[in-house]
Structure 1
Amino acid sequence: MSDIKITGLPLSEAKKAIIMIHGRGATADSILSLVPHLNLTDYAILAPQANRNSWYPFGFMASDEGNKVALEGSLQILEETWNKIEAAGIPSKNTVLLGFSQGACLSLEFAARHGQKFGGIVAFTGGLIGEQLKPENYAGDFQGTPIFIGSSDRDFHVPARRIKESGELLRKMGAEVTIKLFDDPDHTIREEEINWVNQNIFS
């Protein structure tokens, strides 16, 4: 069984849930440090822990073969986390996926492989995973799900080009995509991003 930290409201009492996905080299506890900055008072909060603190070994645009085994395992961990929420009777339209960096890429990838009405997807610096984008990997209809992707316009790990391509593909699947690229080189989560998601997704 995967190691999943659960906080916020108990799953049995909550009407909404969020899965928070940490970045490479980080932990479930580190992504949970965002909780006080987000409007999550009525959410059950689940944060899965990656094996050896990494969801896949290479960059998210590296060879598909290199990342394949670890990526499939990581998507399976998200599936287990998702199943806990579903078993508690919380519908997908009340469930949000949020991630930073490697976790942002994983949250977008999981969502696009299970296209449906989500409460929202928040990707702090991320894009869909793969050497090339393969639309055939993705299925479903987001039915107007709000998706936020925020990043530096010149992030060292996540090229703006891939963010825009990802946004385009997600729009074609029926998502309401907002991309904010900031004029700084920082690999971080900015106050403006937090404010936007609080007002538009966690309001």
Structure 2
Amino acid sequence: MEYHVSIKGNDQTLGNADQPFRTISRAAALAVAGDTVIVHKGIYREWVNPLNGGTKDHRIVYKSAGDGEVVITGAERITDWTSIGDNVWVTEVPNAIFSVRHPYDVELGGDWLFDGELNVHLGDVYLDHKSLYETDSLLKVRRPEVWPDARYTEGSLLKWYAEVGPSTTKIWRISVIKIRELKMLKLTSDPTASGQNNQAVITLPSVALRFVKLHHNGSAY
């Protein structure tokens, strides 16, 4: 079985070449061993968690349709920033855009993190494709200080700070920007559906996955 996905599609259709799905997630919920998911050009901002796995001989294959670049990303582009002076900008985003977990409310932990007083979070803020440095107060965004352990100390002056509310999150950043949530295609060898037995079951030729890597200040990049 072949399923097609297009940014011009609709998840309520049949998911074939003439009536493609809108999201990879919709196709991933249906695909079983031996199926192929063909993804047409575009940027897909979603968490993809395949429901089923295949087998060694009958994989589930996710591949590009070959009509342009396919990108699966966790980044959300935010354009409604407001200047509040001192080269500082603020935006407010609805918490509903974070479909699985709230990255600005989840603290990172591990022995790979630098020791320090700041509890860094899963979320990050980007300016012109560069990761900014999280701080723990708006004052430190307004009056940034160099982080001496930074690889590029001047860049460490570029700060951001977030406050999570019941329904929205405010983000301040130094002087459009991207907010990155750790949403990635989950390549599972333990599918959600019961009774499935698989190993190395999913392949992704010709699909660009913008996975998150760990930035040196502990933020997700």
Q: Answer yes or no: same fold by TM over 0.5.
A: no
TM-score, length-scaled by structure 1: 0.28
Higher strand share: 2
TM-score, length-scaled by structure 2: 0.27
Structure (1 or 2) with the larger CA radius of gyration:
2
Larger relative contact order (CA 8 Å, sep ≥ 6): 2
